[in-house]
Amino acid sequence: MNFRRVVTGHDSQGRSIIAQDGPAANLFGPAQAPYLINFWATRAPSGMDDPAEGDIPLAPAPGGATFRFFRVPPESASAHLDEVEQRRRTSAYYAQVGAADAHVEGRHPGFHRTASVDYIVLLEGEVSLLVDEGEVGLRPFDVVVQRGTSHAWVNRGESPALMMAVLVDDREAQPR
């Protein structure tokens, strides 16, 4: 699947233009099925540079926001691993995306928490949202407002789920 990104801008006379039109180039994971696809990020100062280029951190920059797609692979893909190895690999993943401290102990190896408010839409597949004290199944176009809580996304289906998220930095989102 190609993830097209159209970005507007201004020319030297201040008229609106199509500044970019093409595939999203900032992908994390295998090219044919990336796990994270950043479309845009707000960082200070952003100027006319492409703020979605460079590293793909899990959480948005301080005072910033990130717009992305992400995939949740089926649990069957890692069913051959014991829980210790699943947690080790998940911890390594969070370290790769600059969020080693976001990976937290929980009832699932994928539990994590960021200081952000996340607006998430399930686009395809089925996913369950696990929190410390509950679980809810999601279907395409269900919306989640995730407010800095410990959580994990679990795909008990047969194929990867595709989700869209806007993550907004919120240092107040986590309990102190």
Residues 95-105 pLDDT 10s = 988 888 888 88
Note the pLDDT of residue 13. 84
Q: Who contacts 158 (Cβ-Cβ below 8 Å, separation ≥6)?
A: 74, 76
Identify whether 70 is part of a domain. Answer: yes
Note the pLDDT of residue 162. 95
Expressed as residue numbers, the domain containing 112 is 45-169
Vertex 85, ends 82 and 89: CA angle to 5°? Answer: 140
Residues 125-149 pLDDT 10s = 999 998 988 889 898 988 888 888 8
- Total domains, the chain: 1
The side-by-side arrangement of strands in the sheet containing 27-28 is: 27-28, 36-41, 65-72, 161-169, 116-124, 143-147
Q: Strands, DSSP E only, in 100-157? A: 116-124, 127-131, 134-138, 143-147, 151-154
Whether 41 and 63 have beta carbons less than 8 Å apart is answered as no
Identify whether 120 is part of a domain. Answer: yes
Provide the percentage of residues in the chain whose pLDDT is more than 70. Answer: 88
Note the pLDDT of residue 99. 86
DSSP label at residue 75: G
Identify whether 151 is part of a domain. Answer: yes
- CATH label of the domain that carries residue 130: 2.60.120.10
Identify whether 1 is part of a domain. Answer: no
- pTM comes to 0.75
User: What is the mean predicted confidence (pLDDT) over 87-113?
Assistant: 89
Identify whether 57 is part of a domain. Answer: yes
Residues 144-157 pLDDT 10s = 888 888 889 999 99
Question: Does pLDDT of 82 surpass 90?
Answer: yes
Identify whether 34 is part of a domain. Answer: no
Question: Does pLDDT of 163 surpass 80?
Answer: yes
Identify whether 95 is part of a domain. Answer: yes
